[in-house]
């Protein structure tokens, strides 16, 4: 049986084990226990980081580095905060460092790339058979509008509206007071709507039609 299959089985057996317990097991040097944590969080962290930094390869590196740092510092983790908050905080800080590094680089190369330039790629319908072309195009435009948000709004919107974390967790992860988090989320959403303009209205109409159709054909 290969190591990864073992980890998969271990993951299934450990579904009831908390992150904190797994972390404690990994203190004895058990990589398998830590890999269960990796499997639990890798996709969630990737979804956060890839939208925050905007490119897949960098996001992969950041997610890997996040887990390595968590592994290295697993003995210093204090069970005061939730493990998920801790790991998101590490990922968020690494992503912010990357964005700062890019800004410095852009500043040095005299702003060759417009930060608010339209960069969304046309969606690949073939690889998403369960989503129609219209939905994919709308999603691509929404993703692009998210990418154009200022960093601090983008981070809050991803954590709240895409990852579904609660306000207190976001406050700890981002390292700002709760009031600031609420205000960033609200402003971010309003900005997103303004940026999407006509598309937002079209989505609204589409959703209204769907609701009407469901009501008339229960």
Contact residues: another protein, CB under 8 A: 3-4, 7, 29, 31, 34-35, 38-39, 42-43, 46-47, 50-51, 56, 60, 63-64, 67-68, 71-72, 128, 131, 136, 138-139, 142-143, 157, 161-162, 164, 182-183, 185-186, 189-190, 192-193, 196, 200-201, 203-204, 207
Q: Which is nearer to another protein, 96 or 187 (CB)?
A: 187
C-alpha R_g of the chain = 20
Q: Which is nearer to another protein, 38 or 173 (CB)?
A: 38
Whole-number Å distance between alpha carbons of 67 and 60: 11
Q: Which is nearer to another protein, 106 or 120 (CB)?
A: 120
How big is the chain, counted in residues? 218
Q: Are 92 and 174 in contact (CB under 8 A)?
A: yes
Buried b / exposed e over 195-217, threshold 16 CB at 10 Å, is bbeeebeebeeeeeeeeeeeeee
To another protein, the closest distance from the beta carbon of 81 in angstroms equals 22
Q: Which is nearer to another protein, 106 or 140 (CB)?
A: 140
To another protein, the closest distance from the beta carbon of 211 in angstroms equals 10
Going from the C-alpha of 74 to that of each of 95, 197, 204, the distances in angstroms are 20, 46, 46
Q: Which is nearer to another protein, 13 or 211 (CB)?
A: 211
To another protein, the closest distance from the beta carbon of 35 in angstroms equals 7
Contacts for 111-115 with beta carbons within 8 Å, 24 or more apart? 115/148
Q: Both tokens of residue 189?
A: 């959403």
Q: Which is nearer to another protein, 29 or 218 (CB)?
A: 29
SS3 54: coil
Other beta carbons less than 10 A from residue 165's beta carbon = 22
């Amino acid at each position: 049986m290969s190591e990864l299959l073992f980890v998969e089985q271990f993951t299934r057996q450990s579904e009831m084990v908390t992150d904190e317990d797994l972390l404690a097991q990994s203190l004895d040097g058990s990589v398998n226990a830590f890999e269960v944590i990796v499997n639990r969080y890798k996709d969630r962290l990737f979804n956060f980081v890839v939208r925050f930094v905007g490119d897949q390869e960098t996001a992969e590196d950041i997610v890997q580095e996040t887990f390595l740092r968590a592994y290295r510092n697993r003995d210093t983790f204090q069970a005061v905060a939730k493990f998920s908050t801790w790991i998101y905080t590490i990922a968020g800080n690494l992503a912010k460092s990357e964005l700062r590094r890019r800004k410095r680089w852009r500043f040095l190369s005299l702003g060759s790339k417009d930060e608010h330039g339209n960069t969304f790629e046309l969606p690949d319908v073939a690889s998403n058979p369960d989503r129609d072309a219209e939905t994919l195009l709308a999603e691509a435009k929404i993703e692009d509008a998210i990418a154009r948000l200022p960093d601090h709004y983008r981070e809050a919107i991803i954590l709240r509206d895409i990852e579904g974390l609660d306000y207190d967790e976001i406050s700890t992860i981002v390292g700002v007071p709760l009031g600031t988090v609420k205000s960033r989320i609200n402003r971010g959403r309003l900005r997103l709507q303004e940026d999407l303009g006509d598309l937002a209205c079209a989505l609204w109409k589409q959703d209204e039609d769907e609701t009407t159709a469901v009501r008339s054909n229960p």
